[in-house]
């Protein structure tokens, strides 16, 4: 090989290395600058990329009404169906199609379940403020570039801001914190498999009278652009060997005319359509207890809807039952994580001290107790606590003490007591610091707990308990129990 060709190869190799390094730095910088929303929509998107390729047999698509209706863990627990809710809040129909194209890059589900909330709503650029919930963490790809460009044909600058989040958040460098640089490579596995099922109950019963009785209104129109997008989704499913199933969750504002529009579309394409408005009585849906607001099921309504939906899927499609194949999969792990999360959730809502102590877990947790004020009449309780967590004594308790129990072990160096006669080797320190996890430090003094630079001493006479989940690196609860007020629970606003 002559020197000329050798020089050309070296130059090309140098350019390639430069481009690779530049791309890596660019993506890293963009990941740091983009807004860390911690929103259930972004959690659903990030979690989707953690799923093993070709492991999802049922894919649910759509806006928030989709992931609040179909709970993949109910589908798995009761029917063994491997499903995922891949959606985002207030999702326009065009973005629904882009998500489906993105999903087919790594998954080839047998069934795609499409929630139809946005079918009759045209996308308007002025209403684009919710797009970040879906687009920020959707990976950059030619598909994303093409679809975002189509959504903003007259404003390429805005298209670029949604396509490349760093354009939108370029000024955020001024407010970056330590946590923005932490966890870039941590797992974002979503134990809920994209669903959002809180136990919040609606403030008042939902009223669907308008939906059922207003039958004379003008027929709903499907925007031509949405028809084109729907046709693209039908073709995508055909090309990828997936069957398309349409469904509609009950929500305020939806009309009978829109339902008729969906029914017409389903008939035109020969597709099945499950309308949960027609199933409210069959599923014994409580119009208050089973909703969290006027547009979304809560945990209880979702469980009813999902149990029905799972049965429908098993009856109409050939889906595997992955519960008993002899190997642990991510849905098995997700069920354990759900139990873990709901135990934490139950603790954070418990207001009775005896019940609170009964719910506490110690292995995998850090529990910090702070006893302060007048302990008259509490000697028996405090003696029991001291016996459970030596080296703390009843005298320490009565003098005021804060101590940490880490994974079930009370560590002497983390005992801070107002008892001046305490053996300093056993206890008696006046202040201690404990690194709970990434970026989380707690300070202990004899009469208070300081977490995230905020002091917690919510009761003058009583006990304050901080519970931290060591496995998940997150605060579970900080609760105070006031002895002067019958042991009433006090939580910081």
CA angle 385, 388, 390 (to 5 degrees): 100
Looking at per-residue confidence, does 482 or 179 come out higher? Answer: 482
Containing 70, the helix (H) or strand (E) segment is: none
Mean pLDDT across the stretch 416-433? 67
Looking at per-residue confidence, does 461 or 189 come out higher? Answer: 461
Query: pLDDT by residue (tens digit) across 349-408?
Result: 999 999 999 999 999 999 999 999 999 999 999 999 999 988 888 998 999 999 999 999
Q: What share of the chain is helix, strand, coil (3-state, %, to 5)?
A: 45, 20, 40
Amino acid 127: pLDDT: 65
d(CA 221, CA 119): 9
On the question of pLDDT at 307 being above 70, the answer is yes
Strand order across the 365-372 sheet: 409-417, 401-406, 365-372, 462-469, 474-482, 488-490
| In the chain, ranges of CATH 3.40.50.1110 domains | 27-174+187-340
- 129 contacts: CB under 8 Å, gap ≥ 6: none
d(CA 407, CA 475): 15
Looking at per-residue confidence, does 178 or 342 come out higher? Answer: 342
Amino acid 32: pLDDT: 46
pTM as predicted: 0.83
Does domain 27-174+187-340 fall under CATH 3.40.50.1110? My reply is: yes
Greatest C-alpha distance within the chain:
95
Amino acid 361: pLDDT: 93
Amino acid 215: pLDDT: 66
The mean-pLDDT minimum among 94-103, 416-425, 439-448 falls in 416-425
- Share of residues in the chain with pLDDT > 90 (%): 59
On the question of pLDDT at 105 being above 90, the answer is yes
Per-residue pLDDT band at 16 (split at 50, 70, 90) = low
Q: If DSSP codes are grouped into helix, strand and coil, which group holds residue 82?
A: coil
Nearest Cα residue to 83 out of 349, 314, 287 = 314
Mean pLDDT across the stretch 423-437? 70
Mean pLDDT across the stretch 31-48? 62
């Amino acid at each position: 090989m002559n020197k000329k060709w050798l020089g050309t190869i070296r130059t090309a190799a140098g350019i390639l290395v430069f481009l690779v390094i530049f791309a890596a730095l660019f993506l890293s910088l963009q990941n740091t600058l983009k807004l860390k929303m911690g929103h259930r929509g972004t959690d659903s998107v990030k979690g989707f990329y953690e799923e093993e390729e070709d492991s999802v047999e049922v894919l649910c698509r759509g806006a928030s009404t989709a992931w609040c209706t179909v709970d993949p863990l109910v589908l798995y627990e009761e029917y063994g169906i491997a499903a995922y809710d891949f959606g985002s809040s207030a999702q326009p129909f065009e973005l629904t199609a882009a998500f489906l194209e993105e999903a087919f890059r790594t998954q080839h589900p047998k069934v795609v379940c499409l929630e139809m909330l946005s079918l009759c709503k045209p996308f308007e650029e002025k209403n684009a403020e919710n797009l970040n919930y879906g687009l920020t963490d959707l990976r950059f790809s030619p598909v994303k570039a093409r679809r975002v460009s189509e959504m903003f044909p007259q404003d390429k600058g805005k298209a670029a801001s949604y396509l490349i989040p760093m354009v939108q958040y370029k000024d955020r460098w001024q407010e970056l914190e330590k946590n923005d640089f932490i966890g870039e490579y941590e797992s974002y596995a979503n134990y809920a498999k994209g669903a959002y099922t809180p136990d919040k109950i609606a403030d008042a019963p939902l009223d669907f009278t308008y939906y059922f009785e207003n039958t004379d209104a003008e027929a709903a129109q499907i925007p031509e652009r949405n028809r084109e997008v729907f046709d693209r989704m039908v073709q995508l499913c055909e090309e990828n060997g997936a069957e398309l199933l349409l469904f509609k969750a009950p929500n305020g504002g939806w009309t009978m005319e829109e339902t008729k529009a969906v029914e017409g579309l389903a008939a035109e394409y020969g597709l099945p359509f499950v309308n949960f408005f027609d199933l409210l009585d069959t599923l014994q849906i409580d119009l208050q207890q089973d909703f969290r607001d006027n547009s979304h099921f809560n945990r209880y309504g979702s469980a009813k809807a999902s149990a029905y939906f799972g049965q429908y899927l098993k009856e109409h499609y050939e889906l595997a039952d992955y519960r008993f194949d002899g190997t642990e999969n991510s849905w098995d792990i997700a069920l354990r994580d759900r139990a873990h999360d709901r135990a934490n959730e139950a603790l954070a809502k418990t207001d009775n001290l005896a019940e609170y102590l009964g719910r506490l877990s110690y292995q995998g947790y850090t529990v910090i107790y702070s006893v302060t004020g007048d302990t008259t009449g509490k000697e028996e309780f405090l003696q029991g606590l001291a016996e459970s967590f030596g080296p703390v004594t009843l005298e320490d308790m009565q003098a005021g003490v804060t101590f940490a129990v880490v994974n079930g072990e009370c560590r002497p160096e983390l005992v801070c007591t107002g008892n001046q006669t305490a053996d300093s080797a056993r206890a008696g320190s006046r202040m201690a610091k404990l690194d709970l996890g990434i970026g989380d430090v707690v300070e202990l003094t004899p009469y208070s707990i300081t977490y995230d630079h905020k002091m917690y001493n919510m009761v003058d006479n009583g006990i304050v308990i901080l519970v931290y989940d060591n496995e998940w690196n997150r605060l579970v609860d900080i609760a105070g129990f006031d002895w002067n007020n019958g042991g009433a629970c006090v939580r910081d606003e």
